[in-house]
């Protein structure tokens, strides 16, 4: 299974360049797409999911041009948008039956079987007769996974599924996703670095419609080995440090001092201690570079 994106560009009416000559190749497994809000993650995912047409570029899935032949992709696609609603006053069971029909399962018996299965997987079986529009956020996201599984998809696209979930829900959600990801291609976008850290075989960092970094988590972290330095400073001296050093992140300690992390091939000064690079560092480094370039 292979998804190949070539020279993809999209500019919106208001002038925002959501995708900027983007190139990307994705194979089997979990693919994490990391980027800040407004980076173009959703635009990219919607474009792959055939909901939106790019201005230029091409997308191929297993050799088929999905911008031309959308149906062939839709047959193998499972998509969970960042935000969705459902027809009101319909139970999970009847909505899933509705989706199962849309996904081409003609036999009623088969529909019933698979619906039962996906409800169990997502732990919604107990509440299958309840109206989905009355579900809590986590249940609704699980319902989103349930509908996505109905056509046994090869390509799964989930757009920021964990935002807004409580820790337990998030955990459970990621487990289910991981389970699916073993045999399928799962593209998973998030702005939460931890999500990716825990799950993904491969990760790309996206900003301003461009891929900044791409690789396995281990590889991208390894690339920063020996270049991340940390120091504790006063709040007052932050600006000074930022001027002097390439500060990639800073965060408060409880005593109101700050931890700053700096990227540098050499030790910036004696007060800095070398730190083991984190995926987060990769993310910030990538964004920082991108900003400087602009």
Partner 1 sequence: MLGTIFTFEVKRWLTNPSFYIYAGLFFIFSLLMMGGALGIFDGLTVTASSNTFVNSPIALNGLINGLSTFTYFLVPTIIGASIYKDFKYNMHTILFSYPFTKMDYLLGKFLSSLFIVILIVATIGVATYLASFLPGINQDLLGSYSIVAYLQIYCIFVIPNLFFYGVIVFAIVTISRNISVGFIAVIVLLFIDGVIGGYTRDADNRYLAGILDPSGSEALSYYTQYWTASEKNANLLPFESVMIYNRLLWLGVAVVIFILLYRYFSFTQTALTFGKSKNVERVTKNNFGGITRIKLPNTTFDYSTKNNLKTAWNLSNIDFVFIVKNWVFISIVIVGLLFILLTSLTSGVIFGTSTYPTTWQMLEIPGSTFGLFINLLTFLFAGILTHHGATTRMNHLVDVTPTPNWVFLVSKFLAVVKMQIVLLAVILIAGVAIQTYHGYFNFEIGHYLYELYFIKLINFIIWAFLAFFIQTLFKNYLLGFFVLLVLSIGLAYLPAIGVEQAVFRFNSDSGFQYSDMNGYGSSLPLYFLYKGYWFMLGLALFGLTLLFWTRGMGQKASARLKDAKDRFNGKKALLIRLSLIGFLGLGATFYYQNNILHEYESNLDNEKAQANWEKKYKKYQNFIQPRITAINVDIALYPEKRDFVASGTYILKNKSKQAIDSILINYNDFKTEVKFAVASKLVSKDSVFNFDIYKLDKPLAVGDSIVMNFEIKNEPNSIFRSNSPVIGNGTFINNSIFPSIGYSDKSELTDDDVRKTYGLKPKERMANPTDSIARMNTYISNDADWVQFETTISTAGDQIAIAPGYLQKQWKKDGRNYFHYKMDQKMLNFYAYNSANYVFKKDQWKNVAIEIYYQEGHEYNLDRMISAVKKSLDYYTTNFSPYQHKQVRIIEYPKTLGQFAQSYANTIPFSEGIGFIAAVDDEDQDAVDYPFSVTSHEIAHQWWAHQVIGANVQGATMLSESLSEYSSLKVLEHQYGKSQMRKFLKDALDKYLQGRTRERKKEQPLMYNESQQYIHYNKGSLVFYALSDFIGEKKLNGVLKAYLQKVAFQDAPYTNSIELVTMLKEATPDSLKYTIKDMFETITLYDNNISNVTSKKLKNGKYQVDIQFNVAKYRSDDQGARIFKDSNGKTITYKKKGDEIGLSSLPINDFIEIGIFKQDEVKDKKIEKQLHLKKYRISKIDNKLSIIVDEKPTEVGVDPFNKLIDTNSDDNRRKL
Rule CB under 8 A: which of 168-227 touch partner 1? Answer: 168-169, 171-172, 175-176, 179-180
* Binds partner 1 (CB under 8 A): choice among 37, 106, 251, 256: 106
Number of residues forming the site for partner 1 (CB under 8 A): 59
Rule CB under 8 A: which of 13-72 touch partner 1? Answer: 13, 46, 49-53, 71
CB of 191 to partner 1, least distance (A): 20
CB of 235 to partner 1, least distance (A): 32
Where are any strands of DSSP class E within 98-222? 155-159, 185-190, 202-207, 210-215
State which residue, 77 or 196, has the beta carbon closest to partner 1: 77
CB of 27 to partner 1, least distance (A): 20
Build a one-symbol-per-residue string for 85-104: x at contacts with partner 1 by CB under 8 A, - elsewhere.
Answer: xxxxx----x---xx-xxxx
Exposed (0-12), middle (13-18) or buried (19+): which is 71, by Cβ within 10 Å?
Answer: exposed
* Binds partner 1 (CB under 8 A): choice among 30, 66, 77, 224: 77
CA distance 53 to 256: 49
* Binds partner 1 (CB under 8 A): choice among 3, 18, 24, 114: 114
State which residue, 21 or 89, has the beta carbon closest to partner 1: 89
CB of 176 to partner 1, least distance (A): 7
Question: CA end-to-end span of the chain, whole Å?
Answer: 35
Rule CB under 8 A: which of 118-137 touch partner 1? Answer: 118, 120-121, 123, 127, 130-131, 134, 136
CB of 231 to partner 1, least distance (A): 37
- Between CA 87 and CA 105, with CA 189 as vertex, the angle to 5 degrees is 45
Residue 129 CB coordination number (10 Å): 9
Cα dihedral 117, 122, 124, 130 sign: negative
Nearest to 47 by CA among 76, 79, 87: 79
The tokens for 271 are 């007060």
- Region for 226 from its dihedrals, namely left if φ exceeds 0, alpha if ψ lies in -120 to 50, beta otherwise: left
Residue 81 in contact with partner 1, rule: CB under 8 A: yes
What is the enclosing helix (H) or strand (E) of 266? none
CA dist 275 → 238, 261, 267 (Å): 19, 8, 11
What is the number of alpha carbons within 13 Å of residue 226 lying toward its C-beta?
Answer: 3
CA dist 71 → 66, 156, 204 (Å): 8, 15, 27
Span interacting with partner 1, options 82-90, 205-213, 260-268, 274-282, rule CB under 8 A: 82-90
Rule CB under 8 A: which of 135-154 touch partner 1? Answer: 136, 138-139, 144, 147, 149, 151-152
State which residue, 189 or 249, has the beta carbon closest to partner 1: 189
* 252 within 8 A of 258, measured Cβ to Cβ: yes
**By the criterion CB under 8 A, which residues form the site for partner 1?**
13, 46, 49-53, 71, 74-75, 77, 79, 81, 83-89, 94, 98-99, 101-107, 110-111, 113-114, 117-118, 120-121, 123, 127, 130-131, 134, 136, 138-139, 144, 147, 149, 151-152, 168-169, 171-172, 175-176, 179-180
């Amino acid at each position: 299974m292979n998804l190949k994106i070539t020279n993809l560009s999209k500019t919106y009416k208001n002038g925002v360049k959501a995708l900027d000559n983007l190139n990307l190749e994705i194979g089997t497994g979990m693919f994490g797409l990391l980027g800040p809000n407004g980076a173009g993650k959703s635009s990219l995912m919607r474009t792959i999911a055939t909901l939106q047409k790019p201005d230029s570029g091409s997308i191929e899935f297993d050799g088929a041009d999905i911008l031309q032949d959308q149906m062939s992709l839709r047959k193998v696609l499972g998509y969970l948008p960042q935000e969705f609603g459902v027809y009101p006053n319909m139970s999970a069971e009847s909505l899933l039956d509705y989706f199962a029909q849309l996904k081409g399962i003609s036999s009623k018996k088969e529909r019933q079987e698979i619906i039962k299965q996906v409800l169990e997987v997502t732990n919604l079986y107990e509440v299958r007769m309840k109206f989905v529009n009355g579900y809590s956020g986590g249940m609704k996201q699980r319902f989103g996974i349930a509908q996505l599984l109905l056509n046994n998809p090869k390509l799964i696209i989930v757009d920021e599924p964990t935002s807004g979930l409580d820790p337990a829900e998030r955990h459970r959600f990621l487990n289910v996703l991981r389970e699916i990801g073993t045999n399928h291609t799962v593209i998973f976008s998030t702005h939460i670095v931890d999500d990716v850290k825990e799950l993904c075989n491969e990760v790309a960092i996206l900003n301003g419609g461009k891929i900044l970094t791409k690789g396995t988590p281990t590889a991208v972290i390894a690339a920063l080995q020996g270049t991340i330095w940390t120091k504790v400073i006063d709040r007052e001296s932050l600006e000074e440090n930022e001027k002097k050093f390439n500060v990639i992140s800073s965060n408060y300690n409880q005593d109101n001092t700050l931890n700053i992390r700096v990227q540098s091939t050499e030790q910036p000064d004696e007060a800095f201690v070398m730190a083991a690079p984190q995926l987060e560092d990769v993310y910030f480094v990538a964004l920082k570079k991108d900003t400087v370039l602009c």
